[in-house]
Amino acid sequence: MKLVFGEGSCGIAAGAKKVREAVERLNADGAVETGITGCIGMCYLEPIVDVYDGGKLVKRLVKVDEAAAPALYEAAKTGDLAPLAKYGISADDREFLERQTRIALRHCGLIDPEDIAAYETVDGYKAIRKALATTPEDVIAEVKTSGLAGRGGAGFPTWFKWNAARSAKGEQKYLICNADEGDPGAFMDRAVIESDPHSLIEGMLIAAYAIGATKAFVYVRAEYPLAIVRLQKALVAARARGFLGENILGSGFSCDIRIKAGAGAFVCGEETALIESLEGNRGMPRLKPPFPAEKGYTQAPSNINNVETFANVAWIILNGGAAFAAMGTETSKGTKVFALTGKIRRGGLVEVPMGLTLRDVIFGIGGGIRDGGTFKAVQMGGPSGGCIPESLLDTKIDYKALGATGAIMGSGGMVVMDSTTCMVNMAKFFLDFTAKESCGKCVHCRIGTKRMHEILSRITEGRGREGDVETLQELCMGIKAGALCGLGQTAPNPVLTTIRYFRDEYDAHIREGRCPAHECAALKEYEIDPAKCRGCTMCARKCPVGAISGEPRKPHAIDQSKCVKCGQCAAVCKFGAVGG
């Protein structure tokens, strides 16, 4: 039997690599075959170990710790898996994958990302052979039939961008993959590169052939070291197999791909800012037009798509654009990958057909709110998106439908919030992010986001004033209208949607000096319930300012004039006597 360890970043962080190394130390005789794979998307169950027999998956083990290494080794050696029963995956958790439709993630967690032969066994590099046997125009037509829209956030028709770059005049053309992925809570692109780098390479090769590019770049953030290492290994292997370089597969088409490790600026998710960074300049957006298809990298015709977009391309060429278009809705075709994070029971990567509802994903696949909490909102589209309330959970996953809520599809982040989340504080969090990530080129974004953050900070600190909400709305409209790029134009979305759906929370902060979610520290007033206090003195000992007094075994009290509202007393009380 073979033991395959899930070693994406999430699995390694949870201890998968340590478990594998412990098994390999026991395996001095080589009786047990071991291997690695990437992230299958079930991040909440890591570390994951799959047991294979003759190439067939016979057992999936979850939450496997280092102490399980001897049992893993013996089970794989003898074939008796009974001792590993406690690590078996539940039927409930199996539904997490069974309810998905995986195209971009089709190989993630199933093949060795560092072995090109493993990719070829699942029809890898057949699509580029098929594409090279047709014309570039035929490739673009197939992508047009598929209805594939850019998965980076804007949802622009992929075929249109490819066709524009192909039609542009210029001897040298460039293809660029945007793997910057700057949204908080988003990790779809990272997982694809770590788990299935050859699908990205093959998709890029097909796109390069379609537009006539001979040079290509993957712009990936330097904070993704494992993704960079695995992509570099994949590029070396692809060159050795003749899939990259001069005269690919004897077709006369030549193309090579290089990696550019970016500094991780959120603004570089905007394509012209990314191009500036790729050229060695500070990442700041350019005025458009001209668009990159006409004048992009080094002023030459260029095309930019993100990782997930390219990961769909080989499947579309092999299976036909009509098969992809058969999934989804009239205006949003195919599938979409989402990163489920926040107060969700089953956090990880989910790929579903367009047209499912938010409720289907959050409660059906994600299992609902963890720890028995109550759903409050979901943030779609990261800092550029918006908060969608419980009343709109039946909204379909569709570019147009999500846009009508004030949110956006974005790159695919889904941050789930429960009743303990303050929506004003959440808006402040995202404005803090966008204000810091603003490149500073235009006044509306540079100054406007800072002013908005200052107002939100005052409100969460109990210093809000009448008219603050109206001022925020005015600033939002001004920034949307005047910002140069998508970062500034969409930065107000979290504020606008929280005001739209949770205005009562803003009013409570401003007019009553109260945070309904009890999250804003400055608006908390910690008190000790004498009926519950056992006089253990733990709170008094932990209080950093000596605000708590009382005799042992008798109820204690908090001096509100001294209390700095740090929450240490509530954190250490074992009897639930301290409330805020």
Which CATH number belongs to the domain containing residue 564 in this structure?
A: 3.30.70.20
Alpha carbon distances (Å) from 160 to 153, 155, 248, 539? 16, 11, 25, 64
Q: Quick: pLDDT tens for 52-98.
A: 998 899 999 999 999 999 999 999 999 999 999 999 999 999 999 99
In this structure, the answer to whether residues 161 and 298 fall within a common structural domain is yes
- Retrieve residue 184's tokens: 């908080």
In this structure, the answer to whether residues 229 and 143 fall within a common structural domain is yes
Number of H helices, E strands in the chain: 23, 17
Q: At what angle do helices 136-146 and 158-167 cross, to 10 degrees?
A: 160
Q: What is the pLDDT of residue 264?
A: 74
Which CATH number belongs to the domain containing residue 341 in this structure?
A: 3.10.20.600
Whether residue 144 lies inside any domain: the answer is yes
Query: Is residue 521 over pLDDT 90?
Result: no
Query: Is residue 184 over pLDDT 90?
Result: no
Average the pLDDT over each of 60-64, 264-268, 463-467, 541-545 and give the range with the smallest value. 264-268
In this structure, the answer to whether residues 372 and 295 fall within a common structural domain is no
Alpha carbon distances (Å) from 86 to 81, 461, 488? 10, 48, 50
Whether residue 98 lies inside any domain: the answer is no
Query: Is residue 263 over pLDDT 80?
Result: yes
Whether residue 31 lies inside any domain: the answer is yes
In this structure, the answer to whether residues 195 and 280 fall within a common structural domain is yes
Whether residue 109 lies inside any domain: the answer is no
Whether residue 103 lies inside any domain: the answer is no
Indicate the number of domains in the chain. Answer: 5
Query: Per-residue confidence at 381, pLDDT binned at 50, 70, 90?
Result: confident
In this structure, the answer to whether residues 429 and 500 fall within a common structural domain is yes
Q: Where are the alpha helices (DSSP H) in 133-224?
A: 136-146, 158-167, 188-195, 197-211
Q: Structural domain of residue 541, as residue ranges? A: 524-579
pTM of the model: 0.91
In this structure, the answer to whether residues 219 and 134 fall within a common structural domain is yes
Query: Is residue 580 over pLDDT 80?
Result: no
Torsion angles phi and psi, residue 557, rounded to 5: -140, 155
Q: Quick: pLDDT tens for 426-460.
A: 999 999 999 999 999 999 999 999 999 999 999 99
Whether residue 107 lies inside any domain: the answer is no
Taking residues 208-233, report their average pLDDT. 96
**Cβ-count burial of 470 within 10 angstroms (0-12 exposed, 13-18 middle, 19+ buried)?**
exposed
Tokens 């089953």 identify what position?
346
Nearest CA to 385 out of 184, 537, 564 is that of: 184
Q: What is the pLDDT of residue 569?
A: 93
Query: Per-residue confidence at 544, pLDDT binned at 50, 70, 90?
Result: very high
Whether residue 117 lies inside any domain: the answer is no
Q: What is the pLDDT of residue 153?
A: 75
If one compares 453 and 181, the residue with the highest pLDDT of the two is 453
**Size (the chain), residues:** 580
Q: Alpha-carbon torsion 32, 38, 40, 43, what sign?
A: positive
Per-position b or e across 511-525, b if 16+ CB within 10 A of its CB: eeebbbbebbbebbe
In this structure, the answer to whether residues 220 and 235 fall within a common structural domain is yes
In this structure, the answer to whether residues 400 and 430 fall within a common structural domain is no
Q: Quick: pLDDT tens for 101-126.
A: 999 999 999 999 999 999 999 999 99
Which CATH number belongs to the domain containing residue 21 in this structure?
A: 3.40.30.10
Q: 323: how many CB neighbours lie within 10 A of its CB?
A: 15
In this structure, the answer to whether residues 138 and 191 fall within a common structural domain is yes
Which CATH number belongs to the domain containing residue 207 in this structure?
A: 3.40.50.11540
Measured between alpha carbons, how far is 216 from 300 in angstroms, rounded to an integer?
13
Measured between alpha carbons, how far is 337 from 351 in angstroms, rounded to an integer?
4
Share of the chain above pLDDT 90, in %: 88
In this structure, the answer to whether residues 508 and 540 fall within a common structural domain is no
Q: What is the pLDDT of residue 382?
A: 84
CB 136 within 8 A of CB 211: yes
User: Residue 371 carries which DSSP code?
Assistant: G
- Final residue before a domain boundary, out of 45, 71, 89: 89
413-418 and 335-342 beta bridge pairing = parallel
In this structure, the answer to whether residues 397 and 286 fall within a common structural domain is no
Nearest CA to 381 out of 275, 240, 539, 266 is that of: 266
Q: What is the pLDDT of residue 315?
A: 98
Taking residues 410-422, report their average pLDDT. 92
Which CATH number belongs to the domain containing residue 444 in this structure?
A: 1.20.1440.230
In this structure, the answer to whether residues 499 and 548 fall within a common structural domain is no
Tokens 């330097």 identify what position?
222
Taking residues 248-263, report their average pLDDT. 95
Nearest CA to 205 out of 171, 159, 166, 254 is that of: 254
- Final residue before a domain boundary, out of 65, 89, 113: 89
CB 109 within 8 A of CB 40: yes
Q: What is the pLDDT of residue 431?
A: 95
- Final residue before a domain boundary, out of 48, 66, 89: 89
Q: What is the pLDDT of residue 522?
A: 86
Whether residue 115 lies inside any domain: the answer is no
H or E element, residue 379: strand 375-380
